[in-house]
A and B are shown apart, each in its own frame.
Chain A
Amino acid sequence: MPTYNFKSIQVVPPAKDFIDIVLSKTQRQTPTVVHNGWQITRIRSFYMRKVKHTQTTWHDKLTQILDDFPKVEDIHPFYGDLLNVLYDRDHYKLALGQLNTARNLIDKLAQDYIRLVKYGDSLYRCKELKRAALGRMCTLMKKQDASLKYLEQVRQHMSRLPSIDPAGRSLLLCGYPNVGKSSLMNRLTRADVEVQPYAFTTKALYVGHLDYKYLRWQVLDTPGILDRPLEERNTIEMQSVTALAHLRASVLYLVDVSEQCGYTLAQQAALFHSIKPLFTGKPVIVVANKVDARPLDNLGPEEQALMQGMASEAARASGADPADCLMSMSALSETGIAEVKTAACERLLAHRVEAKVAGKRITDVLNRMHVALPKPRAGAAKPRPPVIPPGVAEARARRDAGEKRRTERDAQEEAGGAGVYSADMRKQYDLKDPAWRYDIMPEIFEGHNIADFVDPDIDAKLAELEREEEELAAAHDAEMAALAEGVEELGSDEEADLAAIRKKKKELVTAHRIRKAAAGNRPVMPAKHGSRGDKTVGRMRESLGALGIDTSAAEARLRSESRGRKRARSAARGGEGGDSEMADADGGAAGGAPAKKRVHSSKSRSMSRGRALSTAPPTPSSGLKDAAQRNKAVKMADRGQRLRNKAARAGEGDRVIQTKMPKHLFSGKRGMGKTDRR
């Protein structure tokens, strides 16, 4: 249910302020610096943004206003009419409509200018276009000044309207001016409505609240109404008429019987009859006020007739007893107020219930309800008393006969009391044979827990196990026989070979381990030095012979290739060494022995070039085919030795630092550790 609270409508500024607000917002929220040197696209987007932003701001603000103000069609007809009465619906709708039009115009205008700015070819032109756009928007809004001012006033007035719930329970006080409506209001509720001895003290609707039957009731005090045609009624009266017409309230028509208000009883009755159509379908009570000044009994017969006439009309309008529709009270002496209140509230409650029952919704509820009324059974003559089992009945009979059960406590007392007596737990054991109660159950037997084997159908299981066992034993024997058949054992020769193989392997492994253990820390002796002594013909014969190879042919070949023992060094050759100093002193030219090397002069030496490596043939034992292959090997060796360019530098001069601050080294929290390893 919507609550009618018009206090939350935002302030509508006058046109001048409105323009200031929007333009300053644009100024604040868009960039302000633009340069001639910028790319034209950037300049264009700068101004387009300004135009767009202004348009959006206008649009938002106007939408806010349009959404805040209630639509006359959407709200309750009571408020709709109240708005019409107070602010003139046409004017109101026109003002909102104009704002709506202005909003649409601004949108369209901005669109056009943005399109123009898109083709602006210089900063100046773009700027002028922007100026034009903003200026036109402001001009447009300046024209709405009247509407805005009107709406602001409406807003202020609306925010002060009483918050009346049109669908709630309410009592409505009406009547001529000065008949005591506001006094009654003050008596009924805690609302402090102004009461003055002149007409039209109350110029608007007032709301007070009261509690009756733990329900919340609103009491509406209306301005007085004069008896004249609807068209001549003023705004103040029209508010009362609106409330009377649209609220489904309990109407209290107050009549001043003392005529102190300045209107005769006849006039008041005439007013009642003229606004009678507004009372149809509502509980109406004619309340005779100010009976302290003039009691009802003092009325003349004509006046009595007038009062009765009003009461009967009220009864007819609300469909009640005429006697209930006429009540008397005095707001001054506070007599009869409670009765009036009770009667009015009760009548409204009853009326609302009736309306609900008459409505469609009651059938929906009824369709969902079903009250079951079970019928008595056909054979109801047969009584069905409660069932008490025979054992229980017997026990009850014994108990009633005064028999007492012997308890364990009795036994304790007989056998010497607490602390001496030890209760026999086994006495009550519930076993198949009571004689077993004191049996001692064996727990462990041959390393097994007997409790683990206990099974009610152990016989069957055991029989099954034994049967299974026989089958398994037979199957096992067959399997073992098959396995034994399949295996072909080794002969004695083979066994001996196997043993020899294992022995040999062991020797090899041991030798390898020794070599390996030594290799880590010891210089490796070249093979030609280390094992020269080992490689004898005898050894070869021995080891290869063990493998079953006849070495005689190899031995013969070796012997044929070998050189005989060298001749001993002759003294003639060795004598030369004795006077070598002399030979040197002679310049190397003297003596029989040839000079080994030519002595270069320093110049010739520096000018000479050694033979290129590439032209030298490889030494025969190196395993290389030719000079090209040797060169390749040398190059590969060089490459293997070259230092890797780990820093990936182009050369010595390359001192470039690619990333000054590598992100991963400079970001994040530092915990433990160094700052350069993260």
Chain B
Amino acid sequence: MRIDKCWFCSSAIYPGHGITFVRNDATAFKFCRSKCHKNFKMKRNPRKVRWTKAYRKLAGKELAEDATFEMERRRNRPEKYDRELVKKTVQAVEKISGIRKKRQDRHHERRMARAKAGQVAQDKAALEQQIHLIRAPASLRAKAKDAPAKEKVKVAAEQRAGDAMQE
């Protein structure tokens, strides 16, 4: 008895749930619900379907590579039973999942912060470039004339050309 992962959306399949499809090359595909099964039958690629875990990890929306994932993985060679080891393992499960939770939260936080920064930059660009939609350039110029920010020093073109000749 074990909790399997859905082939399509990677969610947990508890015993007694979902459906299994076994292809004629003996590959077993497990699906958590009919939605995933149907999507599979439509030959959709879970990496391209936005609501799946595979997509989210691929697109960087969720934590994809981490040591905590390495610690929880299917073993092909079973360990011999050891009471002490199992005791330790059960304790470790809690710790590992706690750490994973924290890391996922941090990943989300970082992602949000970056998105915020990007959004602000975009807004500023929009304000800069599209202000003409609400305020005519002429009026802006008029405003600028009222409150001159900097003095511009004009240099005569002939003078500059003379400098170039001397060189």
Contact = CB atoms under 8 A, between A and B. Distances in A.
Interface of A: 429-433, 436, 439, 441-456, 458-459, 461-462, 464-466, 468-469, 472-473, 476, 479-480, 483-484, 486-490, 494, 497-498, 500-501, 504-505, 508, 544, 546-549
Contacts of A466: 95, 99
Given A466-B99, A501-B127, A505-B133, A454 B89 contact: yes
B88 A459 contact: yes
Interface stretch (B28-36, B47-55, B101-109, B148-156): B101-109
Nearest to B107: A476
A472 B106 CA distance: 10
Interface of B: 1-3, 12, 67-68, 71-75, 78-83, 85-86, 88-90, 92-97, 99, 102-103, 106, 109-110, 113-114, 116-117, 120, 123-124, 126-127, 130-131, 133-136, 138-140, 142-143
A548 B142 CA distance: 9
A555 to B, nearest CB: 16
Contacts of B127: 490, 494, 497-498, 501
A469 B136 contact: no
A473 B140 CA distance: 48
B72 to A, nearest CB: 5
B131 A450 contact: no
Given A501-B133, A501-B134, A452 B92 contact: no
A487 B89 CA distance: 44
Contacts of A469: 99, 102-103
26 contacts: A432-B82, A439-B81, A449-B2, A449-B72, A450-B86, A451-B74, A452-B72, A454-B86, A454-B89, A455-B71, A455-B79, A458-B85, A458-B92, A465-B96, A465-B99, A466-B95, A473-B106, A476-B106, A483-B113, A487-B116, A487-B120, A490-B120, A505-B133, A546-B134, A547-B136, A548-B136
B79 A547 contact: no
Nearest to A549: B136
Contacts, number: 150
> Which 7 pairs between the two chains have the least Cβ-Cβ distance?
A548-B139, A547-B136, A504-B133, A483-B113, A449-B2, A500-B134, A452-B72
Contact of A480 (B68, B89, B110, B140): B110
A456 B79 contact: yes
A448 B3 contact: yes
A168 B90 CA distance: 90
Nearest to B103: A472
B75 A448 contact: no
Nearest to A477: B106
Nearest to A488: B120
A533 to B, nearest CB: 24
Given A453-B92, A546-B134, 10 more contacts: A431-B81, A442-B86, A446-B94, A449-B2, A451-B2, A459-B88, A466-B99, A476-B109, A508-B133, A549-B139
Contacts of B80: 430-432
